[in-house]
Amino acid sequence: MLTHRLGRDVTVLNDFLPIPGIGFLTVNAFVLHAAEPVVVDTGLSLPDRGFVDALGSVVDVADVRWIWLTHPDRDHTGALFELLAAAPEARVVTTFLGAGIMSTERPLPTDRVHLLNPGQSLDVGDRTLVGFRPPLFDNPATVGFFDTATHTCFSSDCFGSPMPSIDLATCDDVAAVPADDLRTGQLLWATVDSPWVHMIDPAVLLGSAGPLRAMEPERILSTHLPPSTGRRPEFLDMLAAAPGADPFIGPDQRGLEEMLAGFEPTAAPTAQPSPA
């Protein structure tokens, strides 16, 4: 894993997944360096990713007080129980449904859970985190949040995009991605991750972005996109176009075999410390 420090308050814990025929998907978790440190998601559920070691390079793991799980998909929960063991005072922020979904695999201890719904807030000592439902999501337990101190929106899967190269999937600023490529990739990801977007009234979808407009975030951090600053108008414009984008149709078995014939597994980058 790689780490990127964004100002004083946020560190990105960056990983990626190669997707044959599509590109490279950024998979981020985050550390919010609040008075009560917050870890946002816990990485991929794949062996040897070294999430807790990477986390320990940017914060004392035992000091973590909150693990905000934006939703319980396996690319967000990889090191959850390892982190709970290493951070004995940390509690998992999730919804009633999210806790239930996770407990079908391994029960969450109820004394380590803090249930929070969209519209509710969490005090982490020096700031308030305001939960909201992102306009695009692939899991009904999804809750992102807005950090009132840094005007940063943590949007979970919303606004993600596959990248054409590892370098772009692991970069520290989405400004490195050409604007047309970014919009095309975001529309593709919207149809992949939220296929229901084609069945919704565009006006209803745009209405669901009301909390995001009200926040006026300066920075938007998505699980599946390099960090972005000052891109809110473009992202909302992309959202308006998503219901009319071409639906994603994945390869059938023959197509899969053709892709895999020329596919070589790509090793994840090793953890590197953030600049001081």
Mean pLDDT of 33-43: 98
CATH of 2-261, one of 3.60.15.10, 3.40.50.1100, 3.40.50.920, 3.30.70.980: 3.60.15.10
- pLDDT grade for 273, boundaries at 50, 70 and 90: low
Domains of the chain, by residue range, sit at 2-261
Query: What confidence score (pLDDT) does residue 265 get?
Result: 59
The Cα 76–Cα 49 span in angstroms is 13
Q: Which residues of 168-188 are buried (b: 16+ CB within 10 A; e: fewer)?
A: bbbbbebeebeeeebbebbbb
pLDDT mean across residues, the chain: 93
The Cα 5–Cα 198 span in angstroms is 36
Collapsed DSSP state (helix, strand, coil) of residue 48: coil
The Cα 60–Cα 108 span in angstroms is 23
Query: What confidence score (pLDDT) does residue 256 get?
Result: 83
Mean pLDDT of 229-257: 93
Query: What confidence score (pLDDT) does residue 276 get?
Result: 42
**Range scoring the smallest mean pLDDT among 102-106, 124-128, 172-176:** 102-106
Query: What percent of the chain has a predicted confidence (pLDDT) above 90?
Result: 87
Interstrand relation of 10-19 and 66-68 (parallel, antiparallel or unpaired): unpaired
